Amino acid sequence: MRQIDISQATAQPESLFQAALEEDEIIIMQNNQPIFKIVRINQPKKRRQSGSAKCSELQT
């Protein structure tokens, strides 16, 4: 978790977005109070395609 003052966040939005990509969450503060929380949305996992798994048979 990273905390950034709102004046810094509005002055440098590009660095704010880059930090959001690298950190779990970014808290934007105003007067030492949290006012916004930015969290990265994880990419959804790709759905498995039917029939794509390899079959393995037990050999005895």
* The pLDDT value given to residue 21: 85
Task: For residues 34 and 38, give the distance between their C-alpha atoms in angstroms, rounded to a whole number.
Answer: 11
Q: Given a cut of 60, is residue 48 above it in pLDDT?
A: yes
Q: Is residue 55 part of a domain?
A: no
Q: Which amino acid is at 8?
A: Q
55 against 11, higher pLDDT: 11
* The pLDDT value given to residue 35: 97
Q: Is residue 54 part of a domain?
A: no
pTM for this structure?
Answer: 0.62
Q: Which amino acid is at 25?
A: E
Q: Is residue 45 part of a domain?
A: no
Q: Is residue 29 part of a domain?
A: yes
Backbone dihedral angles phi then psi of residue 11, each to the nearest 5 degrees: -80, -30
Q: Given a cut of 70, is residue 43 above it in pLDDT?
A: no
The full 3-state SS of 13-35, as one line of letters, equals HHHHHHHHHHCCEEEEEECCEEE
% the chain with pLDDT above 90: 35
